[in-house]
Amino acid sequence: MNGHALLSASGAHKWLKCTPSARLEETLPEGTSEYAEEGRLAHEIAELKLRKQFIEPMGMRTFNSRLKKLQANPLYKDEMLHHTDAYLEYVSSITHSFTSPPYVAVEKQLDFSEYVPEGFGTGDCIIIHGDTLHVIDFKYGKGVPVSAEMNPQMQLYALGACAAYSFLYPIANVKLAIVQPRVGEPSEWELPASDLLAWGESVKPVARKAFAGEGDYVSGDHCRFCRARALCRARAEFNTALEEYHQMKPPLISNEEVGAILVRAQNLAKWVKDLEDYALSECLKGNEMPGWKAVEGRSSRQYVDQDEAFKLLIASGIDEALLYQRVPLTLPKVEELLGRKTYTELLVNTGHVKTEPGKPTLAPISDKREAISRTSATEDFGS
């Protein structure tokens, strides 16, 4: 089982909703990004730490030399050590919660092909104790918080783990957790194994359709992770369907219509960005994009060698104090520097951090935060 599965667990949120997307993506080149590479490196550091702790106890010399190799990667940042520590601490807190040592597997290849044709993937960490299976995923991204609740990727991993271990362990409960330290506390979700297996059965016909490339193209939030996101006709038609609102009567649109337009407008903004990225890459390749061309962006000035430049300025009589600004780090930066645990101990628990409520902001109804309302006349729209 090498390479990528056509119907990957990580892509399930996409092919479960838009069944022909996996076959369409197959026809398009796979891209990567600096964020993806950064995430891969953080995963390798996390894996090393978990292996040392649970799988292959190793001396500090071996550990440090392996870590050093990873740190030589140009994408390495010191904060990766804090964030991977937070993941290690979470996994350790689970293993220590039992009265006897649990079974632990790290970077375990999981086969869920009983439910999804040729489906397999790699689970970051599997823990089994008694009748409970834990599936834990480490996510390094901070742009999009990922919830464990009803998460298809996690459920497919759990199905793979049930298939692999049910002969050895009487798995009755399944606990899923996503540790995304740059976003906040781990997201957890628990369900009976029977519910998970029932979900697996419900997925089978959809997965068969997706494997065959059949079904309707369905556009939505999941499109932004699709390789076809810029050129997909279904997405284009969905987004340009905004025009149908021109027909609206009476002259003022209703709150229902405002809500519906805003949902579409969010997708529209992401789609336009994907089109811009695609058009720029085509122009840079020398391909024609009618009405558009690639140009140099705004230039920026940079020191050739800042140390040498400052030496010259100081030697010319400029006071060194004028050349530097002492700026305090923001709390998120301090947390990044210290790691969540130390930050909480030193600043939060000692009363040095206060939390002011944020400005009211519009969010989709699916947002987990509680809805607020203000009735005072001074808060009214337009005041």
Pairing of strands 132-138, 173-179: parallel
Instruction: Return the residues of window 190-229 that contact ligand SF4 according to CB under 6 A.
Output: 217-219, 222-223, 226, 228-229
* Smallest distance, ligand SF4 to C-beta of residue 304, A: 44
Number of C-beta neighbours around residue 15 at 10 A: 27
* Smallest distance, ligand SF4 to C-beta of residue 116, A: 17
Among 83, 108, 134, 235, binds ligand SF4 (CB under 6 A): 235
Q: Which residues neighbour 76 within 8 Å (Cβ) at sequence distance 6 or greater? A: 41, 70
3-state secondary structure of 74: coil
Residue with Cβ nearer ligand SF4 (21 or 84): 21
Contact 213, 260 (CB under 8 A): no
Among 70, 234, 347, 353, binds ligand SF4 (CB under 6 A): 234
* Smallest distance, ligand SF4 to C-beta of residue 9, A: 16
Residues forming beta bridges with residue 110, ordered by sequence position: 121
In eight-state DSSP terms, residue 292 is B
Contact 242, 264 (CB under 8 A): yes
CA distance 351 to 163: 48
Tokens of residue 149, six digits: 């609740």
Instruction: Return the residues of window 52-71 that contact ligand SF4 according to CB under 6 A.
Output: none
Strand ranges inside the chain, DSSP E: 103-111, 120-129, 132-138, 173-179, 187-192
Helix or strand holding residue 300 (H, E): none
One-letter amino acid of 318:
I
3-state secondary structure of 126: strand
Instruction: Lay out the site mask for ligand SF4 across 122-141 (x = CB under 6 A, - = otherwise).
Output: --------------------
Instruction: Return the residues of window 8-47 that contact ligand SF4 according to CB under 6 A.
Output: 14, 18, 21, 24
Residue with Cβ nearer ligand SF4 (233 or 341): 233
* Smallest distance, ligand SF4 to C-beta of residue 162, A: 28
Residue with Cβ nearer ligand SF4 (18 or 193): 18
Instruction: Return the residues of window 154-183 that contact ligand SF4 according to CB under 6 A.
Output: none
CA distance 190 to 158: 11
The DSSP result for 196-262, as a single string, is: HHHHHHHHHHHHHHHHHT-S----SGGGGGSTTTTT-HHHHHHHHGGGGGGG--SSSPPHHHHHHHH
* Smallest distance, ligand SF4 to C-beta of residue 212, A: 15
Tokens of residue 59, six digits: 């001396």
Residue with Cβ nearer ligand SF4 (83 or 235): 235
* Smallest distance, ligand SF4 to C-beta of residue 257, A: 24
Please tell me the count of residues contacting ligand SF4 according to CB under 6 A: 15
Q: Which residues neighbour 24 within 8 Å (Cβ) at sequence distance 6 or greater? A: 213, 217, 227, 228, 232
Residue with Cβ nearer ligand SF4 (27 or 255): 27
Residue with Cβ nearer ligand SF4 (29 or 358): 29
* Smallest distance, ligand SF4 to C-beta of residue 233, A: 8
CA distance 263 to 104: 43
* Smallest distance, ligand SF4 to C-beta of residue 224, A: 8
* Smallest distance, ligand SF4 to C-beta of residue 7, A: 13
Residue with tokens 């520097």: 337
Instruction: Return the residues of window 276-295 that contact ligand SF4 according to CB under 6 A.
Output: none
Residue with Cβ nearer ligand SF4 (156 or 230): 230
Given the rule CB under 6 A, which residues bind ligand SF4? Answer: 14, 18, 21, 24, 217-219, 222-223, 226, 228-229, 232, 234-235
